[in-house]
Chain A
Amino acid sequence: MNPQALIAAAKKDKRAALDEIAGKQLLASFGVSVPKSVIAKNAADVAKAIAGMQPPFALKVMSPEILHKSDAGGVKIGLKSAEEVAQAITSMAAAPQIRQARIDGWLVEEMAPAGQEVVVGAVRDPNFGPLVMVGLGGIFVEILADVAFRICPITRLDAAEMLDDLKGVALLDGARGRTRASREAIIDVLLKIAGENGLLMQHADDFTEADINPLIVSANGAVAVDARFVLA
């Protein structure tokens, strides 16, 4: 589906946000890498659905009623085979919060190569219009609020300066024994999202908030592993 159709479908369905699949399709249409994925209808459907995909896999419940999938027990990672995925679906479906929810299906994804977790976000300011945010994942965003904002559209230099604004920026260069994460890959994602012809400029009125969390950044590239776009 093209971006307009994705947004229209979610609105027609009276959703508050794009579901994860739609969010990733939207990102992919702007050139942001997302993991290869399929939706399995149930445990029995898994083997056929994931044929040709490379393990390890991540499994996520798809439900408009579950906002925080991890908290509900709806995320499982590091699954090595179709059998493991099928078993995980069976046990996940029995979790209290999931048992009662409307389930759209089970998202099975190839896992992104290991890397630095980064958050790229967006929010629509009532006066300035869309703002873009970047921060390092985990405690850096959630506890330390070590993030940088810019008003859209941004230039390549703006994107580079956003990273320099982060107190934890040295982690991207491999501080404390971490593997190096490609700054260029993050800058490219920021430009695809917030650049002159980026997603936020073209859809300024469609979304109030967005999180790409995490964007997994290795030395060679960046993959959007989860995405949420809150509809206006």
Chain B
Amino acid sequence: MNAIVERFNPLFKPKTVAVVGASTKGAALPNVFIRRIRELGFTGAIYPIHPTAPEIDGFKAYRSLAETPEPIDYTFIAIAGAQIPPLLAAANGRVRFAQVISSGFGEVDEGRDLQQKLVDAARAGGMRLLGPNCLGIYSPRGHLTFTEIGPRPAGSVGVVSQSGGLGTDIVRRGLNRGVRFSGLVTVGNCADIGPSDLLEYYFADPETKVIGMYIETARDARRIFEILRAEKARKPVVLLKGGRTTLGLAAAVSHTGSLAGDDRAWVALSRQTGCILTESLDEFIDALLIFQTLTPRTDKPTERVVLFGNGGGASVLATDTYARLGLEVAPFAQDTIAALAELQLPPGTSITNPVDCPVGTLQQDDGRVAEKIVDLIYRIGKPEALVMHLNMAPFVGRSKPEVLDNVVLAAMRVQSKFPGLAHFLLVLRSDGDEQIEARKREFRAKAVELGIPVFDEIGDAGHALKALRAHERFVQSRRG
């Protein structure tokens, strides 16, 4: 096994977990942590560490990290900061990873010395340190979580986040959008392990296909650059960077210095290593989702996009948005239009591109009409991507519930007839009505099961496609 994977496996798939700071009354954060990982199906040993209690939450407690029956793969620590260095120093090489949730370290001026003591103690105790001031790790394959979620299948998206709160958003919102994680690690103050270490791990980890990073201040930015540069976008890397509006060097004396804001370096990183720089949490999640579900086509990067769905105005607006994103939604050539015309779709249907089909058209043959349309588009028009957008409100009440399913399944059947031809993206548009939202949630879950990326708006799908295309183009340009 790869040495990096081997080194980090105890963190992502621990066999033994120690918990420091759990209370006998069962109300502290570490107690919650024990409950959550058991709910997620953790079956390894759990060792509460406590100065006096004989047992906690039904588990036999131990006095120190050095006294547990087995060495500890992962330790969850939430006690007062000053008590932690002696705890770690006494571990005697028996702990692989310690995650320090507690704050009051390097993030405040008066905590800098304590952070140094913490680092020294971790080194003396022979372990790697996560945090301090971080929330923890979400690793479905290891049955670990720091946020309240039910059991969810493990996936292929590996994330490192410098913010715990945003890390929680990424997990929760991501899961609801269909993102499935190989892991998410919050790194807090990065006193020892930094984003570059996790980046290196995710590149080596066979379970991880897509990498996401939320970064605020990266002291290991140079190493991030060097890893990305060496890997040449072998796996797509999606970046969300906080603090990009920082202005140029305050005391610059040259033109170059005054022009060199923080943003310049991160844009440069993206341009020369192929990592995808996103602008918002939602764009970040959508990009992770598209890379998780679709296979980048690096031989023929995405250029021509077909929009197909109900909603004339929405598709006109989307055409503008796509043009601004540099994606081409161009009218079909005559042969495609002629073939579509032969279908003799009802009046009000537009067959150029965007293809606009009112619900009246789409519910023909209980939705199976979509198969004929998409088949012609693929066979003759040969686009590189098809975005199917369904405004759900007009369907509800006017057509049988299965029409929506049939429309999407029809497109999927065509998709499987032309493997690798076009990226297929689904947009489910809702007006926020309770009934529609419920239907959308259910429908999204089904689509996710089929491996279809689903987006809330046509424009969101466009941003994700742009990210995919940027990756495809980069890989193509660096080949050879």
Asked if B271 lies at the interface with its beta carbon under 8 angstroms from chain A, I say yes
User: Contact between B222 and A128 (Cβ–Cβ < 8 Å)?
Assistant: yes
Asked if B269 lies at the interface with its beta carbon under 8 angstroms from chain A, I say yes
User: Contact between A141 and B265 (Cβ–Cβ < 8 Å)?
Assistant: no
Asked if A149 lies at the interface with its beta carbon under 8 angstroms from chain B, I say yes
User: Contact between A121 and B271 (Cβ–Cβ < 8 Å)?
Assistant: no
Asked if A122 lies at the interface with its beta carbon under 8 angstroms from chain B, I say yes
Asked if B108 lies at the interface with its beta carbon under 8 angstroms from chain A, I say no
CB-contacts of B236-253 with A (<8 A)? 249, 252-253
User: Contact between A149 and B255 (Cβ–Cβ < 8 Å)?
Assistant: no
Asked if A142 lies at the interface with its beta carbon under 8 angstroms from chain B, I say yes
Q: Mark A190-219, 1 if CB is under 8 A from B, else 0.
A: 000000000000000000111101000000
User: Contact between A123 and B256 (Cβ–Cβ < 8 Å)?
Assistant: yes
User: Contact between B268 and A131 (Cβ–Cβ < 8 Å)?
Assistant: yes
Q: Mark A41-79, 1 if CB is under 8 A from B, else 0.
A: 000000000000000000000000001000000000000
Also in contact, A211 and B256, with CB within 8 A (given A127-B221, A128-B225): yes
In the complex, which of the residues B217, B222, B254, B477 contacts A230, with contact meaning CB atoms closer than 8 Å? B254
Q: 15 A-B contacts, Cβ less than 8 Å apart?
A: A121-B254, A125-B260, A127-B221, A128-B225, A131-B260, A131-B264, A133-B256, A142-B255, A149-B260, A150-B272, A151-B272, A158-B271, A209-B253, A209-B254, A210-B254
7 closest A-B pairs by beta carbon, nearest first, are A121-B256, A127-B221, A209-B254, A209-B257, A149-B264, A123-B260, A149-B268
Also in contact, A208 and B222, with CB within 8 A (given A150-B271, A150-B272): no
User: Contact between A123 and B257 (Cβ–Cβ < 8 Å)?
Assistant: yes
Name the CB-closest residue of B to A162.
B271
Complex CA distance for A17 and B256, rounded to whole angstroms: 15
Asked if B333 lies at the interface with its beta carbon under 8 angstroms from chain A, I say no
User: Contact between B271 and A165 (Cβ–Cβ < 8 Å)?
Assistant: yes
CB distance from A4 to the nearest CB of B (A): 22
Also in contact, A157 and B265, with CB within 8 A (given A128-B222, A141-B255, A141-B259): no
User: Across the interface, which residues of B come within 8 angstroms of A125, CB to CB?
Assistant: 221, 260, 265
List 19 extra interface pairs beyond A123-B260, A133-B264, CB under 8 A: A67-B253, A119-B256, A121-B259, A123-B256, A125-B260, A125-B265, A127-B220, A127-B221, A131-B265, A131-B268, A133-B259, A133-B260, A148-B268, A149-B264, A151-B269, A209-B256, A211-B255, A230-B254, A230-B257
User: Across the interface, which residues of A come within 8 angstroms of B257, CB to CB?
Assistant: 121, 123, 208-209, 230
Name the CB-closest residue of B to A213.
B255
Asked if B218 lies at the interface with its beta carbon under 8 angstroms from chain A, I say yes
User: Contact between A211 and B254 (Cβ–Cβ < 8 Å)?
Assistant: yes
User: Across the interface, which residues of A come within 8 angstroms of B341, CB to CB?
Assistant: none
CB distance from A166 to the nearest CB of B (A): 12
Interface centre among A16, A67, A209 (most CB of B within 10 A): A209
Complex CA distance for A59 and B442, rounded to whole angstroms: 76
In the complex, which of the residues B218, B219, B265, B271 contacts A161, with contact meaning CB atoms closer than 8 Å? B271
User: Across the interface, which residues of B come within 8 angstroms of A133, CB to CB?
Assistant: 256, 259-260, 264
Name the CB-closest residue of B to A142.
B255
Asked if A183 lies at the interface with its beta carbon under 8 angstroms from chain B, I say no
Asked if B438 lies at the interface with its beta carbon under 8 angstroms from chain A, I say no
User: Contact between A158 and B255 (Cβ–Cβ < 8 Å)?
Assistant: no
Asked if B28 lies at the interface with its beta carbon under 8 angstroms from chain A, I say no
User: Contact between B259 and A147 (Cβ–Cβ < 8 Å)?
Assistant: yes
User: Contact between A230 and B253 (Cβ–Cβ < 8 Å)?
Assistant: yes
Name the CB-closest residue of B to A208.
B257
CB distance from B399 to the nearest CB of A (A): 49
CB distance from A76 to the nearest CB of B (A): 22
Interface centre among B255, B256, B269, B271 (most CB of A within 10 A): B256
Asked if A145 lies at the interface with its beta carbon under 8 angstroms from chain B, I say yes
User: Contact between A157 and B477 (Cβ–Cβ < 8 Å)?
Assistant: yes
CB distance from B258 to the nearest CB of A (A): 9
Asked if A129 lies at the interface with its beta carbon under 8 angstroms from chain B, I say yes
Also in contact, A123 and B254, with CB within 8 A (given A149-B260, A149-B264, A149-B268): yes
Complex CA distance for A150 and B225, rounded to whole angstroms: 11
Interface centre among B254, B265, B477 (most CB of A within 10 A): B254
Complex CA distance for A17 and B265, rounded to whole angstroms: 24
Asked if A24 lies at the interface with its beta carbon under 8 angstroms from chain B, I say no
User: Across the interface, which residues of A come within 8 angstroms of B255, CB to CB?
Assistant: 119, 121, 141-142, 211, 213
CB-contacts of B2-51 with A (<8 A)? none
CB distance from B270 to the nearest CB of A (A): 10
Also in contact, A157 and B256, with CB within 8 A (given A131-B264, A131-B265, A150-B268): no
CB distance from B264 to the nearest CB of A (A): 4
User: Contact between B259 and A151 (Cβ–Cβ < 8 Å)?
Assistant: no
Complex CA distance for A208 and B254, rounded to whole angstroms: 10
Asked if B267 lies at the interface with its beta carbon under 8 angstroms from chain A, I say yes
Complex CA distance for A231 and B136, rounded to whole angstroms: 43
User: Across the interface, which residues of A come within 8 angstroms of B222, CB to CB?
Assistant: 127-129
User: Across the interface, which residues of B come within 8 angstroms of A213, CB to CB?
Assistant: 255
Complex CA distance for A133 and B221, rounded to whole angstroms: 18
User: Contact between A127 and B218 (Cβ–Cβ < 8 Å)?
Assistant: yes
Asked if A154 lies at the interface with its beta carbon under 8 angstroms from chain B, I say yes
User: Contact between B269 and A128 (Cβ–Cβ < 8 Å)?
Assistant: yes
User: Contact between A209 and B252 (Cβ–Cβ < 8 Å)?
Assistant: yes
In the complex, which of the residues B256, B269, B271 contacts A210, with contact meaning CB atoms closer than 8 Å? B256
Also in contact, A127 and B219, with CB within 8 A (given A150-B268, A151-B268, A151-B272): yes
Complex CA distance for A158 and B309, rounded to whole angstroms: 40
User: Contact between B271 and A122 (Cβ–Cβ < 8 Å)?
Assistant: no
User: Contact between B221 and A158 (Cβ–Cβ < 8 Å)?
Assistant: no
Complex CA distance for A94 and B219, rounded to whole angstroms: 50
CB-contacts of A124-181 with B (<8 A)? 125, 127-129, 131, 133, 135, 141-142, 145, 147-151, 154-155, 157-158, 161, 165
User: Across the interface, which residues of B come within 8 angstroms of A165, CB to CB?
Assistant: 271
User: Across the interface, which residues of B come within 8 angstroms of A129, CB to CB?
Assistant: 222
Complex CA distance for A17 and B222, rounded to whole angstroms: 26
User: Across the interface, which residues of A come within 8 angstroms of B267, CB to CB?
Assistant: 149
Complex CA distance for A147 and B254, rounded to whole angstroms: 14
User: Across the interface, which residues of B come within 8 angstroms of A161, CB to CB?
Assistant: 271-272
Also in contact, A122 and B225, with CB within 8 A (given A127-B219, A151-B272, A158-B272): no
Interface centre among A123, A142, A155 (most CB of B within 10 A): A123
Asked if B478 lies at the interface with its beta carbon under 8 angstroms from chain A, I say yes
Complex CA distance for A165 and B209, rounded to whole angstroms: 30
User: Across the interface, which residues of A come within 8 angstroms of B264, CB to CB?
Assistant: 131, 133, 149
CB distance from B348 to the nearest CB of A (A): 42
